Amino acid sequence: MPRRTDPVSSRPVAPGANASLATWLSYLESIHPAEIDLGLDRVLTVLRRLFRNRPRVRVITVAGTNGKGSTVACLESLLRRAGRATGAYTSPHLYRYNERVRINGTEATDDQLVTAFERVEAARGNVTLTYFEFGTLAAFQVFADAGVEDWILEVGLGGRLDAVNVMDPDLAVIASVDIDHVDFLGGDRETIGFEKAGILRQGRPAIYADIDPPRSVLQQVAAQRIPLKRLGVDYRITDAGEGMELTLMSPSRTLTLPATPLPRNSVAAAVVAALMLQPELDNLAITEALGEVRLAGRFECLASSPEIFVDVGHNPHAARWLADRIRARKPLRNKVYAVYACLADKDSSGVVDALADVVDDWFIGGLDCHRGLSAAELRARLAVSHPELVVREAPTVTAALSSAREKAQADDLIVIFGSFFTVAEARASVLGESS
């Protein structure tokens, strides 16, 4: 008869004193049975043990299908330009976990993170937390320890039940609503919009950064009497040379914003948010702040002759934005080569549909990571959804990129996209960057 396992003795053992960040991250992966377990009860319990009262800070929460990271990065730079001390929390990361937690634009150190992990571990007791939940609470602790004034928090998944949502925001931004993570959020914009709108709070201001918000978002806005600023209603953006012109209706103001590789809607929403929080920001300060924003993997140019761009876009909505960026450059280029690799739960068919008319040749690679599709699996999917599509298959992103570079001429364009994992591998291949 097999010996009965003692559930207490089988628990993972917490790292001891002087444990490394890598040891802590490995531990975080082992303490909860599910990678994603949406819900706020467990996180709220530990939050209340960490903080008796809500920290006296200004919290800005950013949700959305796409454009969240760009909004956070721009707002972070704008608030710093206004003289505010900022903490920014984003996910996922490309190479280092430290990328997720920034203090005044600088990544948190290993020591700061480990200290925060130790505090969360001491507070949680018998409460199990997912990797993301534990990391979110640790980010709050890092910000509190550093004494920053503005916490800019990117939602991980959805909004209503995401760990970030345990902290009530003073201002909420919904960057966009489209189809992604259907197993967790639902398969239509109305259902997903309801989840995103969960970050809204009664009577507190919010921004919707895209055209055509779902009815579910507007219903929550009305029910909670949210002072909402909407793109196309309360502010608008128009082309202005290589940049854009942002016009606010009330109070009336027009600004010319510089060109950036980031989504225009995200940039505009960040400026609107910054002006709501810091109305004294002048045009020069805004221009300088946006000019300083650097965000790896968002239509980022890595090389020329041929041009090589990477983008973390991984769903049809992001692919449509990427197609517009490629379309704007295509008249200057001969051919466009796509290098694509994705995770198993992504809509590869929809992504290819969005890019079909701007890509001349497709190269697909495999991702050797959790939920990653092999090149053979991706090819099999595309053979069903797009039987006419000719693809060149390679075992890795690096190998697929190498094949594309061998074929490309100096005046061609190569775009690598599909996942943070895809971009991380491509950047390492082109830039020799891995940490």
Ramachandran class of 18: left when φ > 0, alpha when ψ lies in -120 to 50, beta otherwise: left
* CATH superfamily label, 300-431: Mur ligase, C-terminal domain (3.90.190.20)
Q: 245 forms bridges with which residues in the sheet? A: 238, 256
CB-based contact 74:270 (threshold 8 Å)? yes
Contact in structure between 372 and 343 (CB atoms under 8 Å): yes
The SS3 assignment for 186 reads: coil
Q: Which residues contact 218 (CB under 8 A, 6 or more apart)?
A: none
Q: Residue 13: its pLDDT value, please? A: 92
Q: In this structure, are residues 74 and 287 in contact, taking their beta carbons and an 8 Å threshold?
A: no
d(CA 151, CA 140): 8
Residue 418 φ then ψ, to 5°? 125, -20
**Would residue 62 be called left, alpha or beta, if left means φ above 0 and alpha means ψ between -120 and 50 degrees?**
beta
Q: Within its chain, how far is the Cα of 220 from the centroid?
A: 24
Looking at residue 34, its pLDDT comes to 84
Among 2.70.98.40, 3.40.50.10260, 3.30.70.20, 3.40.1190.10, what is the CATH number of 21-291? Answer: 3.40.1190.10
Distance CA 84, CA 8 (A): 46
From CA 65, how far away is CA 155, in angstroms rounded? 10
**pTM for the full predicted model:** 0.94
CA pair distance 98, 41, nearest whole angstrom:
26
Of 60, 247, 248, give the one whose Cα is nearest residue 170: 60
Q: How far apart, in whole angstroms, are the C-alpha atoms of residue 270 and residue 150? A: 14
Whole-number pLDDT of residue 191: 97
Sign of CA dihedral 260, 265, 269, 271: positive
Give CA–CA dist 225/347, Å, rounded: 36
In sequence order, the β-bridge partners of residue 237 are: 246
Where do the DSSP E strands lie in 157-219? 171-174, 206-208
**Amino acid 10: pLDDT:** 62
Residue 434's pLDDT is 63
Per-residue pLDDT of the chain (435 residues; tens, 9 = 90+): 333 334 444 678 999 889 999 999 999 999 998 888 999 999 999 999 999 999 999 999 999 999 999 999 999 999 999 999 999 999 999 999 999 999 999 999 999 999 999 999 999 999 999 999 999 999 999 999 999 999 999 999 999 999 999 999 999 999 999 999 998 999 999 999 999 999 999 999 999 999 999 999 999 999 999 999 999 999 999 999 889 999 999 989 999 999 999 999 999 999 999 999 999 999 999 999 999 999 999 999 999 999 999 999 999 999 999 999 999 988 778 899 999 999 999 999 999 999 999 999 999 999 999 899 999 999 999 999 999 999 999 999 999 999 999 999 999 999 999 999 999 999 999 998 664
Q: Which residues contact 430 (CB under 8 A, 6 or more apart)?
A: 302, 303, 308, 401
Q: Where are the domains of the chain?
A: 21-291, 300-431
From CA 207, how far away is CA 176, in angstroms rounded?
10
**Taking a C-beta distance cutoff of 8 angstroms, is the pair 235, 249 a contact?**
yes
> Quick count: other Cβ atoms within 10 Å of Cβ 360?
13
Sign of CA dihedral 360, 333, 329, 364: positive
- Cβ(25)–Cβ(115) below 8 Å: no
Question: Which candidate, 20, 281, 280, 313, places its Cα nearest to that of 180?
Answer: 313
Q: Give a three-class secondary structure readout of 321-376.
A: HHHHHHHHHHHHCCCEEEEECCECCCCHHHHHHHHCCCCCEEEECCCCCCCECCHH
